[in-house]
Amino acid sequence: MVLLVPIAVFLLAITVLHVLTKLWLNRYVRALPPGPRGLPILGNVSDMPKPGVLECHHWFEHKKKYGPISSVTVMGQTIVIINDATIALDLLRDRSGIYSSRPSLTFSGDMVGWRHVTAMMPYSDTWKIHRRNIKKITSTATSLAEFDRIQETETAHFLANLLDAPERLLDHIRHETGCVILKVVYGYDISRYKRDPLVDMAETTVAQFAEASVPGRWTVDTFPFLKYLPNWVPGTGFKKTAQTMSDQLIQCVNQPYAFVKQRMHEERQTPSFLSQSIATIGTDADAEFIHKWTALALYLGGADTTVSALSTFFLAMSLFPNIQVAAQSELDAILGVPPRLPTAEDLPQLPYIEAVVKETFRWHQVAPMGLPHTNTSSDTYSGYHIPQGSIVLANIWAFMHDPSTYRDPFIFRPERFLGPEAEPDPRRHVFGYGRRICPGKHMAERALKATIASTLVVFSIEKEGEVETTFCPGLLSHPSPFKCSIRARSGVHEGVVRGVKERLVAQGDGRGDAEELEGVRW
């Protein structure tokens, strides 16, 4: 143990030397984008977002002080902040050849293990394999048709649950979203009448991902040598946190994978992304590793993101009830009165619902700062030098609330996307950029559109008490807890939901696969 202290001192010295070298070299290059003056060696450590503050709001202050592109440097690491939509497209989309990698985050990537998941992997041949595998299920007509079938069933369950217990809105959203994505990825049926262990496990894992992966959140990302300090050293509690998160992540990767393999061995699997991948590619060590992590990536990309977007929709409806009148008028015209629930075939005929979905994406983004990019070679933009390996952050929230682009940006107004003078489509930004654009965006849109349309067909949403428009910080951002009143539009509409529920109950016992999952050895 005594030897560890001089080792840590040596590592600190190496780190300081590395930082000084980078700072010395930067003296001879063109100016970085403007930003606050930093401290010697430490740089702008004190200028990073504080805990509890929305990162997008913190970095938006840079636009007021330094302009549309700015930078900070922490221990020699350059972080470039983009607060202008055009600049984001110029760099991250049009120059995606050099801006498509991800930064290495010591805490999230190395200590927890998130470097293996597709969204956080550096640009590489392995990442390309992940991407191809994911697109097989997210882009083909056959897979999307199967997704629509599952989505319609789970949306019906969601409506039935909402009618019986509207006060548990967030639980129902999480349940519906978990049902859909776990069925698609693993062929897993969740329990209908109690909390499901795989849903709970996956939700915890995703929440930890959002906490672990915010650039600048963890001191060890700034001072990587800290990970080598022994656990008894004061201030190393982050190591225990990382180990807890890592254990959770490993279970979430391996247990559902073992569940699918066991079912395939017994020849009773439900067709899914993972079972098809195993059947077509095989299970040698390399393939197995890819199967596990691409499966988790699909869940990560489709679960918590949809929960956030749907929560934002319900918050918006409680604050802007007039939107429901226009949406329900369109739905009634297409679906008739007495109504029926919409199908995938109906959705293209609902332009106002399409606009509601776009406005949900714009009004508050699932990932307000997007996922961090890094450039694989040095670049110059508007005379500013962007060193190789910079962390590049796009403030998507700022783009979506720019009054020069979106009139009254804090008002939820779907009409802004209709007509000949429609405002820019937010999907150019909210799903990412260039080679890193979200491969599951079509599924995300379909899920959101189906649930929103079905909800507004049968329910009216009103605010309950005073509702504040606040959102939680983190890589993935959700509305702060709020209450709203959800009621059937009429007795006829309640009858539609009751009838759907009766048919669903007749189709199965709702026990799901939880007991079998818990018995799987991995």
Q: What is the pLDDT of residues 404-423, one digit of tens each?
A: 999 999 999 999 999 999 99
Residue 285 CB contacts under 8 Å (≥ 6 apart), including other chains: none
Backbone φ and ψ for 44, nearest 5 degrees, come out as: -100, 40
Residue with tokens 């008490």: 465
pLDDT at 343: 94
Asked if residue 332 is part of any domain, the answer here is yes
Asked if residue 17 is part of any domain, the answer here is no
Angle, helices 197-212 vs 169-186, to 10°: value is 100
pLDDT at 381: 98
Asked if residue 306 is part of any domain, the answer here is yes
318 neighbors 462 (Cβ within 8 angstroms)? yes
Maximum Cα interatomic distance, the chain, rounded to a whole number of Å: 79
Average pLDDT value over all residues in the chain: 90
Residue 472 belongs to domain spanning? 130-375+428-518
Q: What is the pLDDT of residues 476-518, one digit of tens each?
A: 999 999 999 999 999 999 999 999 888 887 777 677 888 898 8
**Closest alpha carbon to 338 in 495, 459, 161:** 495
Asked if residue 384 is part of any domain, the answer here is no
CA dihedral 175, 426, 210, 193 (to 10 degrees): 0
Asked if residue 36 is part of any domain, the answer here is no
Mean pLDDT score, 306-327: 96
pLDDT at 317: 97
pLDDT at 185: 92
3-state secondary structure 391-439: EEEECHHHHHCCCCCCCCCCCCCHHHHCCCCCCCCCHHHHCCCHHHCCC
CATH number at residue 446: 1.10.630.10
Pick the residue with more confidence: 195 or 125? Answer: 125
pLDDT at 283: 65
Mean pLDDT score, 98-120: 95
Angle, helices 197-212 vs 285-302, to 10°: value is 90
Q: In what order do the strands lie in the sheet with 77-82?
A: 69-74, 77-82, 391-394, 373-374
Asked if residue 256 is part of any domain, the answer here is yes
Per-residue pLDDT band for 13 (boundaries 50, 70, 90) equals low
pLDDT at 5: 47
Whether residue 365 has pLDDT greater than 90: yes
179 is in an annotated binding site: no
Q: What is the pLDDT of residues 57-94, one digit of tens each?
A: 999 999 999 999 999 999 899 999 999 999 999 999 99
Mean pLDDT score, 89-115: 96
Pick the residue with more confidence: 337 or 197? Answer: 197
Q: Could you tell me what percent of the chain has a pLDDT over 90?
A: 70
Pick the residue with more confidence: 20 or 56? Answer: 56
Residue with tokens 């009139």: 407
Whether residue 2 has pLDDT greater than 80: no
Pick the residue with more confidence: 20 or 231? Answer: 231
Token pair recorded at residue 280: 């077509």
C-alpha–C-alpha distance, residues 119 and 130, integer Å: 10
Counting the structural domains of the chain, the total is: 1
pLDDT at 28: 39
315 neighbors 482 (Cβ within 8 angstroms)? yes
Q: What is the pLDDT of residues 445-473, one digit of tens each?
A: 999 999 999 999 999 999 998 888 999 99
Asked if residue 413 is part of any domain, the answer here is no
Asked if residue 20 is part of any domain, the answer here is no
Per-residue pLDDT band for 3 (boundaries 50, 70, 90) equals very low
Q: Could you tell me what percent of the chain has a pLDDT over 70?
A: 93
